[in-house]
Amino acid sequence: MINIAQYPTYQVLIAVVLALVLCVVFFPLWIKVLRYRNIGQQIRADGPQGHLVKQGTPTMGGVLIIIVVFAVYVAMGDFGRLSFLALAAMIGCGLLGFFDDWAKVAKERSLGLSPRMKIAGQALIALMFALAAVNWGSISSRVALPLLDASVDLGVYTSVFDFGNFGIIVPWLYIGLVFLMMIATSNTVNLTDGLDGLAAGTITIVMMAYAGIAFRQDRLDIALLAAAVAGACVGFLWYNSHPADIFMGDTGSLGIGAGIAALAVITKTELLLVLIGGIYVIQGLSVILQVASFKLTGKRIFKMAPIHHHFEMLGWSETKVMVRFWVVTGILAGAGFALYFVGSVKG
């Protein structure tokens, strides 16, 4: 009999398949529960008119995704401080997204929590994660510069707070970087969750890249966590493909977005996140440029932002936009993984 524990590759594969199967099996029941409770998506009136038919489609699919990821992580039995912190960040922002989703349903409108409340919640979670990663997870404040075989130390301005039996180290610049990474990634993944299958597909690709990086680092617990998220998103895609039977909701997009940023921190690929998660950078920049252009010139650069709606307005079908964005994500994530691989070989 094969001892699976001796073959980490098999364990990663099992995590993917187990998460996938659990989602495929349990999502029909979850969809029925949501429909029975009348928990449906509220569609923006100023969005693409073709999306109005999605009004009332069950949302909060992210609840089951995160539950499945947690169950698979526990079932695989390979725990570590840093993977636990990444999972905690995911669950924390997922809970914030849950309150946002619930507020939308309760108020029957497309806006849930106020932007200030969401940012405040994300900021608190990001700060707690950053401090725990540095002090409890022993994460270095040095940031690698891809391809340069060098790094920059963001711990030059560090404070130490002594509380008697324990102290807290605060490398301010590095904490600030982690803070920005988590808030930016969480919100841009949320922006990407605007078309059927778009967010889930891109998350799957990005998470598999991080599973590969963690595996390369011989950090099996982190690879298993990333693989579980990827597998759960593939299972979710069975029901989220166009036309979607269920949406991820802010529970999933905010939570998993935070998880992606956390994985970049704990694998020490902070700067590579810009490339691996490049599709989210593009989505976020499209919104920033659109708003800045309109405020400065009164003109819009895109027909609608985020940019996936621009292509819809050009006449592309949802499926075409989704698949092409998946292709772009694959190219960017693959390039990021290749850069990491080259750097690790040199190292």
Domain assignment present for residue 148? The answer is: yes
**Measured between alpha carbons, how far is 175 from 205 in angstroms, rounded to an integer?**
27
Pairing of strands 167-171, 142-145: unpaired
Q: Is the pLDDT reported for residue 157 higher than 80? A: yes
Domain assignment present for residue 63? The answer is: yes
What pLDDT score does 43 carry?
58
Sorting pLDDT into bands at 50, 70 and 90, what band is 1?
A: very low
CB atoms within 10 A of CB 79: 13
What pLDDT score does 344 carry?
61
* Structural domain count of the chain: 1
Stated pTM of the model = 0.93
Give the SS3 label for residue 165: coil
Share of the chain above pLDDT 70, in %: 90
Domain range spanning residue 175?
Answer: 7-269
What pLDDT score does 47 carry?
55
Domain assignment present for residue 126? The answer is: yes
- Biggest distance spanned by C-alpha atoms of the chain: 69
Domain assignment present for residue 307? The answer is: no
Q: Which residue has the tokens 């923006």?
A: 44
Long-range CB contacts (within 8 A, 24+) of 24-32: 24/235, 24/238, 26/64, 26/68, 27/61, 27/64, 27/235, 27/236, 27/238, 27/239, 27/246, 28/239, 30/61, 30/63, 30/64, 30/246, 31/58, 31/239, 31/245, 31/246
What pLDDT score does 147 carry?
77
**Measured between alpha carbons, how far is 262 from 309 in angstroms, rounded to an integer?**
28
Q: Which residue has the tokens 């650069």?
A: 301
Domain assignment present for residue 143? The answer is: yes
Domain assignment present for residue 47? The answer is: yes
Region 141-169 average pLDDT: 87
Domain assignment present for residue 284? The answer is: no
Q: Are 197 and 237 in contact (CB under 8 A)?
A: yes
**Residue at 96: amino acid letter:** L
Q: Is the pLDDT reported for residue 4 higher than 60? A: no
Q: Is the pLDDT reported for residue 51 higher than 70? A: no
- Which helix H or strand E contains 117, and what residues bound it? helix 115-135
Q: Are 69 and 235 in contact (CB under 8 A)?
A: no
Q: Which residue has the tokens 């609608």?
A: 304
Domain assignment present for residue 324? The answer is: no
Angle between helices 318-346 and 198-216 (to 10 degrees): 10
